């Protein structure tokens, strides 16, 4: 999940108070406001952050650097001209893979539960989600009308009347198609120009508690330390404890679960197509060969073992001919020594493969020369090829059938492989073998 913090505003209302210091560096309880926001993100396991800077960007970049001092990795997207909140997001993400982006304002703070926000965002299939907080007096803010079903009905303008209501806390989750619809290099506001256009049942609201502070005016800035004193003291203590590690671990597991969830959405048809091919090969007396490197080699052995033996003991069937080309150390070392490692799988495919057989390659990147040569050998023989790969790798491997995990991070791809492999095997067993039970 990409994380952006918007900190490019000029802060004109605070200039007389800050004496030229950019608003994100305004000190609250001993640290710049932006530093508290980054500490809170790190405590929640989000350590890779892009700062969208504009006014006096050099001062912000000089203060935070690459983020190493905070135990983070920081990048910068600098506006050439003021673009507003939506324009800054579009400029920071000119292109990229599909997925969810977390966006925070750099001049406000509330203790947001990012995991809850993301869970409800995914559960409801929202195009955008906002973290909302209740206030007794919304005269300084525009209000948000939230339906009983959790969908935002309307964004209200500021009112001179002192009335309670829900306001946006400046924390957003937005899907990539929404960002792609924003015109580039155009000053736009998220809450005034983009989110209201999405319509009903497109923008979801999640209500949190408090406290909440926005340092946009001299009065709110003076009160910020008083309002946030206990929260920032808690955050400072948390940053030096194991709770930050716990939050990171929880977020890391959530990333894995999110990748598997996206895999279910995008890869089910691909898995069924591959299972149909493997089942047809077994049915006609052909076999399955498997190859891959490193962790993928272990996956090949796992899949072969499930087919030869059984996946489920309560679902007996005959043994199925599957061979992992990653196991014979004499063959592997002989070919690597005499011919070159790039040929360790291709030589075995040439020796064992027949027309009608299937070669399943497992590669997170699709760049391994040993895998690519094995595919070339299989095509020459007349075998069908299947690739279990990471995002973007299918076009490099040029397999007949691809199961492409919708992520390019090696670890996350590997973590999605096991459920795919089990579903692939069980689909072959249950649906694409006419006589699956043992005699």
> What b/e string do you get for 119-131 counting C-beta neighbours within 10 Å, with b at 16 or more?
ebbbeeebbbbbb
Domains by residue range for the chain, with CATH: 2-241 (3.90.550.10), 267-431 (3.40.50.10490)
Q: Please state whether 398 falls in left (phi above 0), alpha (psi between -120 and 50) or beta.
A: left
219-249 pLDDT, tens digit per residue, is: 888 898 888 988 888 887 765 545 557 667 8
d(CA 333, CA 272): 35
Place of tokens 């990409």: 2
pLDDT, tens only, 361-375: 999 999 999 999 999
Task: Give per-residue pLDDT as tens, 381-415.
Answer: 999 999 999 998 888 889 999 999 998 889 999 99
| Alpha-carbon span 391 to 67, nearest angstrom | 28
What is the per-residue pLDDT for 261?
92
Do residues 85 and 190 make contact, with C-beta atoms less than 8 angstroms apart? yes
Q: Residue 200 — pLDDT band, cuts 50, 70, 90? A: low
Reduced to 3 states (helix: H, G, I; strand: E, B; else coil), residue 162 is: coil
């Amino acid at each position: 999940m990409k994380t952006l913090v918007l900190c490019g505003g000029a802060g004109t209302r605070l200039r007389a108070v800050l004496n030229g210091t950019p608003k994100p560096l305004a000190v609250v309880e001993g640290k710049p406001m932006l530093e508290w926001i980054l500490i809170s993100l790190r405590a929640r396991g989000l350590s890779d952050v892009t700062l969208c800077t504009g006014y006096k960007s050099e001062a912000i970049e000089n203060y935070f650097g690459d983020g190493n001092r905070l135990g983070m990795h920081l990048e910068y997207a600098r506006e050439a001209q003021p673009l507003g909140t939506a324009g800054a997001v579009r400029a920071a993400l000119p292109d990229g893979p599909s997925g969810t982006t977390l966006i925070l304002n750099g001049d406000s703070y509330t203790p947001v539960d990012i995991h809850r926000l993301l869970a409800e965002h995914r559960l409801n299939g929202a195009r955008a989600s906002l973290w909302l907080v209740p206030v007794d007096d919304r005269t300084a803010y525009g209000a948000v009308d939230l339906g009983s079903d959790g969908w935002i009905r309307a964004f209200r303008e500021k009112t001179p009347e002192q009335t309670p209501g829900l306001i946006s806390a400046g924390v957003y989750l937005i899907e990539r198609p929404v960002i792609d619809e924003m015109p580039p290099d155009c000053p736009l506001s998220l809450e005034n120009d983009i989110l209201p256009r999405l319509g009903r049942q497109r923008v979801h609201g999640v209500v949190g508690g408090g406290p909440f502070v926005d340092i946009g005016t001299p009065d709110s800035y003076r009160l910020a330390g008083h309002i946030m004193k206990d929260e920032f003291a808690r955050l400072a203590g948390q940053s030096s404890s194991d709770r930050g590690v716990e939050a990171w671990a929880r977020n890391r597991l959530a990333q894995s679960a999110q990748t598997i969830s996206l895999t279910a959405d995008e890869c089910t048809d691909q898995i069924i197509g591959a299972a149909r091919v493997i089942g047809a090969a077994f049915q006609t007396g052909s076999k399955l060969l498997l190859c891959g490197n490193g962790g993928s080699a272990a996956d090949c052995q796992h899949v072969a073992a499930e087919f030869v033996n059984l996946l489920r003991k309560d679902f007996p069937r005959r043994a199925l001919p599957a061979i992992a080309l990653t196991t014979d150390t004499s063959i592997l070392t002989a070919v690597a020594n005499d011919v070159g490692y790039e040929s360790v799988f291709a030589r075995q495919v040439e020796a064992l493969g027949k027309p009608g057989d299937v070669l399943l390659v497992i590669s997170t990147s699709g760049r391994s020369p040993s895998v690519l040569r094995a595919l070339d050998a299989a095509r020459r023989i007349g075998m069908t090829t299947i690739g279990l790969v990471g995002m973007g790798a299918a076009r490099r491997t040029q397999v007949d059938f691809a199961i492409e995990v919708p992520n390019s991070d090696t670890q996350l791809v590997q973590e999605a492989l096991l459920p795919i492999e089990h579903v692939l095997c069980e689909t072959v067993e249950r649906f694409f073998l006419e006589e699956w039970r043992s005699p």
